[in-house]
Amino acid sequence: MTPDTWLLDRGYRRLLRPVLFRAAGGDPERVHDATLAALHRVGENRPVRAALAALLARHRDPVRVAGIDFPGRVGVAAGLDKNGLGLRAWGALGFGFAELGTVTSQGQPGNPSPRLFRLPEHQAIINRMGFNNAGAAALAARLAAADVVRGNGAVGLPLGISLGKTGTTPLAEATADYLASFRLLAGYADYVAVNVSSPNTPGLRSLQDADALRELVGTLVAEAARRDPDRPVPVFVKLAPDLSDDALEELLAVCTTAGAAGLVATNTTLARDAVAGHRHADEAGGLSGSPLAARARAVVAFLTARTALPVMGVGGILTADDGRAMLDAGAALLQVYSGYIYRGPALVAELNRLTPGGPTTLDEGMTDR
């Protein structure tokens, strides 16, 4: 860890994070919403944005994946900014791309609160948000107001958009529901991610069944080609970590034949072994953070050993060593969410210094875990 990153890390974990974790009566969701509102203000302030970028975005390593030029390998995972409030801030904070959403065709409140739980002892989070978001039309309006057009870099970095199923839509109509969102948002997205792996919408993971996924991905890929035959928007598929090897093999074959441009591995897990005994361990929802790291890497390694499709690695990345291990597993890009909650901007700065096949930048004399 370099001296400047060490100072960022120490300042966040010793000063800012304790304040955030105690704010709003300790309600994680209220703190999350307040932080996004603050990021929106930061993003709209050009001098502040420029100052942050000079500090935090210096070491991004450009890479081309699925035909997209990313200024850095580290991205904002879906769920952190569902409605695009931080559009202009993420690049200044050092990220090389941001995946907005998950968004649904209709706005919806999501599951009842409380629905977000921190497990600091395990550097983990459990959530059962249920795709709470303002809807595809609202996100399209925000992107249009920001002058975003696919590939124009209007907000300083590529944007992915994660699509999910509206909770009230029957599973039999899921493809039409995703297609409605796709039609509203594809013109703004550098890539689209199909979220069929969240555990928080009843029945959603059944869309990972081969026939259902083949229809869904095939329909979106065909629509992308119809809209822009020469340069269709890439469609990625986000997979659950709880799938068996046989199921992953089958889904990989489906994604390949249906024309998916890549994969996102993985979503949150239903497993609780690593946090057994914690007071929140029995909360319904998906577990993310450090306990997911080993399984997420295993899934990425399994997939990349069997396909040339690029894989975005996400799950349990909280240190440079975690990022290195994910790259070594074959990930082309990294995404963070829980790690950013626990480590802050220093994590992104550490990860930006990594290159595939290269050493980590950890300095044992400056770690403070």
CA pseudo-torsion sign 341, 365, 91, 199:
negative
- Residue 290 among the catalytic residues: no
Is 344 within any annotated ligand binding site? no
Whether the CB-CB separation of 354 and 100 falls below 8 Å is answered with no
Whole-angstrom distance, CA of residue 39 vs CA of residue 34: 9
Is 200 within any annotated ligand binding site? yes
Is 83 within any annotated ligand binding site? no
Is 127 within any annotated ligand binding site? yes
Q: Which residues pair with 192 in a beta bridge?
A: 161, 235
Is 102 within any annotated ligand binding site? yes
Is 289 within any annotated ligand binding site? yes
Nearest 10 degrees: Cα torsion 190, 57, 92, 6: 130
Is 230 within any annotated ligand binding site? no
Determine how many CB atoms are found less than 10 A away from the CB of residue 190.
24
Q: Which residues pair with 221 in a beta bridge?
A: none
The pair of structure tokens assigned to 248 is 């992953």
Whole-angstrom distance, CA of residue 237 vs CA of residue 252: 10
Is 35 within any annotated ligand binding site? no
Is 162 within any annotated ligand binding site? yes
Is 132 within any annotated ligand binding site? no
Is 266 within any annotated ligand binding site? yes
Catalytic pick among 105, 198, 288, 290: 198
Whether the CB-CB separation of 177 and 160 falls below 8 Å is answered with no
Whether the CB-CB separation of 241 and 299 falls below 8 Å is answered with yes
CA distances from residue 233 to 68, 120, 184, 360 in whole angstroms, order as listed: 10, 38, 13, 33
Whole-angstrom distance, CA of residue 357 vs CA of residue 215: 37
Is 64 within any annotated ligand binding site? no
Is 267 within any annotated ligand binding site? yes
Is 78 within any annotated ligand binding site? yes
Residue 215, burial from CB neighbour count under 10 angstroms (0-12, 13-18, 19+): middle
Is 130 within any annotated ligand binding site? yes
Whole-angstrom distance, CA of residue 218 vs CA of residue 203: 20
Is 316 within any annotated ligand binding site? yes
Which residues sit in the known binding site? 78-82, 102, 127-131, 162, 195, 200, 238, 266-268, 289, 316, 337-338
Question: Which parts are annotated binding residues for substrate?
Answer: 82, 127-131, 195, 200, 267-268
The residues annotated as belonging to the active site are 198
Indicate the annotated binding residues for FMN: 78-82, 102, 162, 195, 238, 266, 289, 316, 337-338
